[in-house]
Amino acid sequence: MKLYTHPTAPNPRRVHVFLSEKNIEVERITVDLQTGEHKSPEFIQKNSHGQIPVLELDDGSYLSESIAICRYFEALHPMPTMFGSTPKDIGRIDMHLRRTELMLMRNIGVSWVNGPIVAKMAAGRFVQIPEAKEQSDAAVNAYYQKMDGELAGRKMIAGDDYSIADITAMCAIDFAEQLVGLKPDIELEHLARWRGEVANRPSARQNPL
Ligand SMILES: N[C@@H](CCC(=O)N[C@@H](CS)C(=O)NCC(=O)O)C(=O)O
């Protein structure tokens, strides 16, 4: 198997952290995002959406979407589970994962696309909408507040145990803080406690942003 990836991009990082948690080694091939290798005809054969990560299976077929790749490995190596084992845990983890992707990551993405780094990197490729960034910045900060309230009452995002919801939220917030200027307010102490705990796991330290 081969993972087409990039050492610091936030979606691939989710897969890297997940694989470290499970102690799974997969050959990694770095895709050069700067030169647009992910949009080349050769890469489009692997993922028609021209995005990373992409997993090449031993039979020559390809899987993309970070969570689909993680689910594939979870099915191959169920323990330690990152998606839950009991019906209740599976449901709860999926609920938090979906909220994190659809409400937090999506708005961080809007702020990123309409922000200063993309303005420099991809001048002319996107029409930037400052009002959209204002709204998504506010939505991200509101989401941080909601997380802080929830983390006051439990250790990890979906309960007592670390899960794919924690991996996804950590990768999203690290990216938001370092590259989108959306650092959680220092007063959100429960969110800060959780961030400290997930950042200290070997899987996070082995796969920094
Ligand atoms: N939903 C996809 C998103 C993948 C994605 O947005 N990857 C980024 C890197 S973090 C990418 O390839 N960006 C280049 C592009 O979209 O052109 C997933 O979860 O894997």
Q: What is the pLDDT of residue 107?
A: 98
The CATH 3.40.30.10 portion of the chain extends over 2-76
| CA–centroid distance, residue 154 to ligand 1 (Å) | 30
| CA–centroid distance, residue 187 to ligand 1 (Å) | 31
CA atoms within 13 A on the CB side of 59: 2
Q: What is the pLDDT of residue 17?
A: 98
Q: Which residue has the tokens 């409400």?
A: 103
Q: Please state the CATH superfamily assignment of the domain spanning residues 2-76 in this structure.
A: Glutaredoxin (3.40.30.10)
Residue 19 contacts residue 73 (beta carbons within 8 Å): yes
Give the DSSP letter string of 105-160.
Answer: IHHHHHHHHTSHHHHHHTTTTS---HHHHHHHHHHHHHHHHHHHHHHTS-SBTTBS
Query: Tens of pLDDT along 28-77?
Result: 999 999 899 999 999 999 999 999 999 999 999 999 999 999 999 999 99
d(CA 173, CA 112): 12
| CA–centroid distance, residue 161 to ligand 1 (Å) | 27
**Protein residue with least CA distance to atom 13, ligand 1:** 51
Assign 121 a pLDDT band (cuts: 50, 70, 90).
confident
Q: Counting beta carbons within 10 angstroms of the beta carbon of residue 87, is it exposed (0 to 12), middle (13 to 18) or buried (19 or more)?
A: exposed
Assign 122 a pLDDT band (cuts: 50, 70, 90).
confident
Mutational pocket test of ligand 1: of 30, 38, 40, 51, the residue with most ligand atoms within 8 Å of the beta carbon = 51
Measured torsion, CA atoms of residues 161, 21, 181, 31, in degrees rounded to the nearest 10 = -150
Mutational pocket test of ligand 1: of 8, 17, 52, 71, the residue with most ligand atoms within 8 Å of the beta carbon = 52
Which atom of ligand 1 lies at the shortest distance from residue 64's CA?
20
How many residues are there in the chain? 209
Assign 123 a pLDDT band (cuts: 50, 70, 90).
confident
Q: Which residue has the tokens 């839950």?
A: 84
Measured torsion, CA atoms of residues 71, 175, 12, 195, in degrees rounded to the nearest 10 = -40
Q: What is the pLDDT of residue 32?
A: 95
pLDDT mean over 107-135: 91
Assign 161 a pLDDT band (cuts: 50, 70, 90).
very high
| CA–centroid distance, residue 153 to ligand 1 (Å) | 33
Pocket of ligand 1 (CB under 6 A): 9-11, 38, 50-53, 65-66
Side chain identity at residue 21, one-letter code = E
Give the DSSP letter string of 15-65.
Answer: HHHHHHHTT---EEEE--TTTTGGGSHHHHHH-TT--S-EEE-TTS-EEES
Is it true that domain 87-201 has CATH number 1.20.1050.10?
yes
The CATH 1.20.1050.10 portion of the chain extends over 87-201
Enter the tokens of residue 193: 């406690």
